[in-house]
Each structure stands twice: as structure tokens, then as C-alpha cells.
Amino acid sequence: MRQKETKNTQKLAALGISGTGDVDPREVPQLCAVWCAESARPFSALGEQAHKGILHPVVIKNLPARKTVSDDIGKLYTAVQEKFIESLKNHNGAMYLGLDAWQSPNGFDILGTVIYRLVEGDSGDVNLEAMPLDFVQLRKSHTGVYLAETVRVIVEKFGIRDKICGIVTDNASNNETMINEIKSYKWPRFKGDGQWIRCFAHILNLIAQVILRPFGSHKQNKTILTSVDQEQYSDEDDEDDEDADPADPDEQIRIDEDEDDDEDKLLNKENVLASELISDNEIELEDEDLKEMSDEDEDDRYTSTSCKLTLAKFRAVSRKLNKSPNSKSRFKELCHDLECLRPHNVGRDVRTRWNSTLEQLSSIIRCSPAILEWQKEKRYGTAQHHHINQNDLDLARDLVEVLQPFYDITLQVSIRGSARIADIVVFIDQITSHLSSAISDKYDDYPPALRNACRAGLQLTNKYYTLTDCSPLYQVAMILHPSFKDEYFKLAQWQPEWIEESIRLTRDMWETNYKPPPPQPTTSQRSNPGPKPPKGVLAGLAGASEARGGNTNTDPIHMWLAGGLCLTDEGQPVNPLKWWIRQRRAGNTHGGLLQMALDVLSCPATTVDVERSFSFGRDYVSLRRHRLSASSVTQGMTVAFYSKNGKIGSGVLHKWKLKKKNEAKQRDKDKSARR
């Protein structure tokens, strides 16, 4: 029998299954604190009877009280930061900060900071780290000066003022004041507006919303609305959206689906982005921007006014299907019979998520055969004034065609830690080309109402395109991209002087921060005088050689630009950061360009990682935890992300407590000795 048990145990071990092993009682407080923080559970959850049933006996025996867990999270917050600060001091390379403010469900204003840097692992692998650094309560009005002071406290606390090379935020006016104030602190690598990166996800939202605005979508009417107006402007009386938090990132752009259509899910929640609802002053256009607008005519297939009515019809269909189970069941039958693509539903248009309009339009097109039949049935369909016709479907198709690229790019920049600054110029060029084509090439296809909306979007795109000229990081990132260099600018038909300026900015950055020092001459070299400078015709040859790029053998930037472009086997641009990391492994420094490229290309382009941390914060402060203090919220969220990113080693809390205990004993001894 014993041999049989041993044999079975060996089989389980071969499969990687083993016992729980011994648990050190001194580790229990840290395990409990990390569990409560990372899983966003109430401190009292540890003592629940059902939870105790799955705990190790040693854990149950040493289970801390609720108050102790709260205190331990605060102590762990301090202990981990002390060790993390040492790690940051030893880091070589650029660091970037992502900043955003958020209000917790229990009413505390919190500043979130994410640090971006390239980290080399024990195995030599280099990875891009995007990790929440700290969360701090904002106790005053969010003026730019106060925000700058708060950021300075955080930066100096972690000892990274000399390594901050850029800050990414949204385009709020107080952030501009904050950047100017931080500039006055004279950090070595941060020069102000030139190192301020505007969140590109926020800009995408601005452009998409200014396109939708003439059609009444996502427009916050400040006057009192009639019942008809309320019906036209929003689906927000849908019961599933009543509790939606407008400030929650994952609530602001998501895909609504039937519960039985999970197989058609298009997007994982972890890769979803949202930016705040755009304020009116951010999308106002100047008078001169409106001069080129086309005049609408009543004979057009649709006008701005008719578009508002059309979108109201679509929302009426969505509401009917959401409110009436019988109508929804009949609708699904028709979708099945008419072989409509799945999912068989109509998405809801929510004011705080611009992409919900796109999702609703797409679902209308997808299920249009069934909708045209379903709406005729008086028992299940909508009222006659909400019946959809061909012009309505034409508008839906046209709007989907215009909005789809914004959605696709949004998904690309919303993947955690993926959006880099080298991509932004390319994305803006794609949007510019797309909207320009909608205005000019689609002149006969799109009525003036849609062309005018695209023109407004293009004008806003151009406005933010000019902001990239304020920061050298964008141009330098393009020059150092192995698939672009200066060739991209030439193909994009940039003016020659613009291209030369980009190269000059690259050279200035290299010479200021990265150019290797000249080799020191040896004693024997000093005794031999150098050759005399050439005269006459020979001097002219030297000048001609320099003009023709004769010094390219020694100048790394000339050599870099003279080299070929690196593309994938499919002819697509390579991942620039990974390409340069491979160059590092191969020992190719490119004359000092290597570190510069790694620093610039690791610069983030969005505040997605900050917003996603706030999404976790909304879960952390659940309805049962509204009595949490501000310090409990900020420290708990910070500890949670330190744990998620592997920054909390075994025994950290116990060692820290022991250290503090010994320090207290030593202080007592010193006091006794002085007496």
C-alpha cells in the first residue's frame, strides 16, 4: 500500500503538483496585506468563515485583525518604496512620467503617476516597464502650480529628478501651467514644453467627437430638454448604464454585447481605453476654420438636422430591444431567418463613450434586413416615426466608414505599455489622409453635412499636428526609427527645411547628451605634432569632401541616415524598440546613437496606463469600502500595483518591522547613555 502511495505521489510530482509546504508565521501579515490590496478585498474578508476554509492552518492561526491589516499595508507601502528608491537610483537611462487626476468613488481627488523606463532583467533581457509609481491625494484646487508642486514632491521622494526626460498628460489648460512651473525647477533633462507629450488617445477622442458633434451625438445640452429632445440625444435611460461612471476609463469605451454572444467578443477588457468626456472649450473652432464649410441643401440625401433624427431612430430601436424581452426574442428570430451576421443585437449609444455611436451604427448595418422587417410588426416594432429607411442606412454606412479608422487606431494605442511616440506622426498622417480623402475624393459620395464634419475634424487634427513641432522627441523618434529615418518625411512630402530641422534636432540631442567623449591622446601621441593643415587646392579638396559627405565614415548620424531601411518580411515597419534592443545585445552602439534611441523610443504616447490604474481604483473603493481614508486608498492602490509588478519580495514587511524595532532600541540606548 505504501509503495502504491509513493508511486502515485511521484506521478503527481511529475505533473508539477505538490503540497503547500510550510508557511512561515512571520510571513502571514505580509501575505494577508498583499491579498487584500491586490484583490481589492475588504480587510474583514480575511476572517470570513468560507475564506478560512481554504486557508493554510498556519495562516488561520496567525490571522491578523482587520486594523492590523490596514496598518500593515501602510508599512508595506513604506518598506517597498525604500527598496524601490534604491533601484531607481541605480537605473541608467531615461525615465518618463505619466500623470492624471481622478476622483475616487468616496470623494477623494487623487493624482496618479506612472513611470516608464527600460529595465534589464537578471537574464540580460531588456523590457519596457510601465508601472504606477505612486498615488497622492490632492488636497487643494487643481491649479497648475499646485500640481507641479505635488509632482516635484513625488519626483524628489524617489530621487529621479535628474532622469526625467518627459511627461505625458492630457491637454488640459492646468497641465500647460504645470509644465511651465516644472520647467522653473530646472531639472537637468526636462526643458519644459519640448518634453511635454500630449496624450494621443485624448486627441483621438477630441477629433472623433468634433466629427460627431453636428449630428447631436455626445453633445451635452446645457438647456432644459423636452421629452422629445431627451429621446433624441441619448440612450442613457437604459437601465444597464444608469450606474456607469463617466470618469471610469473602461466605462468610456467598450463593446456592448449579448450575454450569449461571447464567442463574437471583439476586444479583451484589459486592452480597452477610455478618455474623459471632452469639454466644450477643447473642441471649439475659430471663425476662420468655418469659412470653408459647404452649404447644405434640402435635396441632399441627409443634412445635419436629418442626421439628428436618424440617430434618434437608431437609439429608439436600441431602447425597444433592451426594454422588451418579447421584441428582442422576435428580433433574434428574424436575424436568424435572414442570416444576419452575429451578434444579433443593436448596441446602445452612451454619451460618455464616443465609440458607442460607432458600435450602434455598425450593429444597425449588420442587422438591417431584420430591422426593416421587425419594425413593421406593430406588436414588436417601434413607432412609425422611428421607422428606418434607406437614407438612414446610407448615413450609418457613411459614418462607419469615417469613424472606423479612429476606432482601429484607438485600439492600437490602448494596448498596455505599447503606444510609443514614434507611432504618433504616422497615425496623424493616416488620419489627415483619411479625412482629406473624405472631403475631396468623396465629394460626390458624401453630402455637405458629413464633409463639413470631416473638415472640422481635419482642422482639429492639424491643430494638434502643429503641437508635435513643439517637441523634438517626435521628430527624433522618427529619425531613429530603423524603418523610417528621414525617408518617411520625404515620402510624406515634408518641406526640405522641415526635414533638415528634424535632423538638426537629432544632432543637437546627440551632441548635448550622448556624444562619446573624444579619446585622450597618449604620451607618445602628444610628442608627435599633427600634420600641417592643407593649403591652396588641397584645402579646397578638403572642403569639397565635407560638402559631399566625406566625413560620413566618422559621423554616426550621417552613417545612420545613409544606411538602408529595416522592414519585416511582409514589408511592414519593424518594432523600433525591439530592433535597437537587439543591436544592444549584438554590441553595436552606432557611435552613441544606441542609448539615445533607447531613451527616445521608450517615450510613451498616452496616459492609458494611468487611466487603467484608476479603473482598478474604482474596484478598490467598492460600495462596502466608502469609509476608507484617503491614505488607505492611495497606499492600498500603490501596494497592489507594486505586487502586480513583482516589486514585493518575500519577507519585506517582517524585515522592515525588525529594522524599525532595532532602530528604536538603539535610540533608547543612546538616550540612556546620554543620561
Mean pLDDT in order along the chain per 10 residues (675 residues): 50 51 86 93 87 86 91 95 92 94 94 93 79 95 96 96 94 92 95 92 91 70 34 42 40 38 35 36 52 72 88 93 93 94 89 82 95 92 92 93 94 78 90 93 85 93 84 92 93 91 93 82 54 53 43 79 92 91 91 92 92 91 89 95 93 93 88 79
Does 139 share its domain with 247?
A: no
Residue 536 lies in a domain: no
How far apart are the C-alpha atoms of 483 and 567, rounded to whole Å?
6
Spatial separation of the C-alpha atoms in residues 414 and 199, rounded to whole Å: 11
Q: How far apart are the first and last CA of the chain?
A: 71
- Assess if residue 230 is contained within a domain: yes
Let me know: does 360 contact 349? Beta carbons within 8 Å: yes
Q: Has residue 142 been placed in a domain? A: yes
What is the pTM (predicted TM-score) of this model? 0.80
CB 591 within 8 A of CB 516: yes
Copy the grid coordinates of residue 246: 463617466
Report whether 231 contacts 217 (CB < 8 A). no
Q: Same domain, yes or no, for 320 and 418?
A: yes
Q: Is 103 helix (H, G, I), strand (E, B) or coil?
A: strand
- If we measure between CA atoms, which residue out of 57, 157, 111, 89 comes closest to residue 637? 111
Q: What residues contact residue 352 under an 8 Å CB cut-off, 6+ apart?
A: 244, 246, 251, 252, 277
CA pair distance 282, 402, nearest whole angstrom: 21
pLDDT of residue 338: 94
Cα–Cα distance measured from residue 453 to residue 450, given in angstroms and rounded to the nearest whole number: 5
pLDDT for res 522:
57
Q: Count how many domains the chain has.
A: 3
Place of cell 431584420: 370
Query: Are 159 and 213 found together in one domain?
Result: no
Residues 487 and 591 in one domain: yes
Strand 109-120, strand 95-103: pairing? antiparallel
Same domain, 158 and 235: no
Do 261 and 221 belong to one domain?
A: yes
- Which residues form the domain of 575? 471-515+555-606
Q: Which three cell numbers stand for residue 404?
A: 472606423
Q: How deeply is 634 buried, as exposed, middle or buried, from its count of CB atoms within 10 A (0-12, 13-18, 19+)? A: buried
Task: Please confirm whether the linkage preceding 343 is cis (ω < 30° from 0).
Answer: yes
pLDDT on residue 555: 86
Percentage above 70 pLDDT, the chain: 80
Identify the pLDDT of residue 268.
36
Kindly list the distances between the CA atom of residue 592 and the CA atoms of 388, 510, 583, in Å, as whole numbers in the listed order.
Answer: 63, 8, 12
101 forms beta bridges with: 111
Are 175 and 266 in the same domain?
A: no
Q: Please state the φ and ψ torsions of residue 197, each to the nearest 5 degrees.
A: -105, 120
Residues 172 and 270 in one domain: no
578 in the same domain as 611: no
8-state DSSP, 135: E
pLDDT tens digits for range 469-526: 778 999 999 999 999 999 999 998 889 999 999 999 999 999 998 988 877 665 555 5
Has residue 540 been placed in a domain?
A: no
Give the β-pairing of 126-137 and 164-169. unpaired
Question: Do the domain assignments include residue 63?
Answer: no
Residues 362 and 395 grouped into a single domain: yes
* Whether residue 487 sits in one domain with residue 440: no
Neighbouring CB atoms inside 10 A of 382's CB total 21
| DSSP helix/strand/coil, 143 | coil
Please tell me the predicted confidence (pLDDT) of residue 44: 86
Go through 470-500 and write b for each residue having 16 or more CB atoms within 10 A of its CB, e for each that does not. ebbbbbbbbbbbbbbbbebbeebebeeeebe
Q: Which three cell numbers stand for residue 669?
A: 540606548
Residue with the three cell numbers 453633445: 219
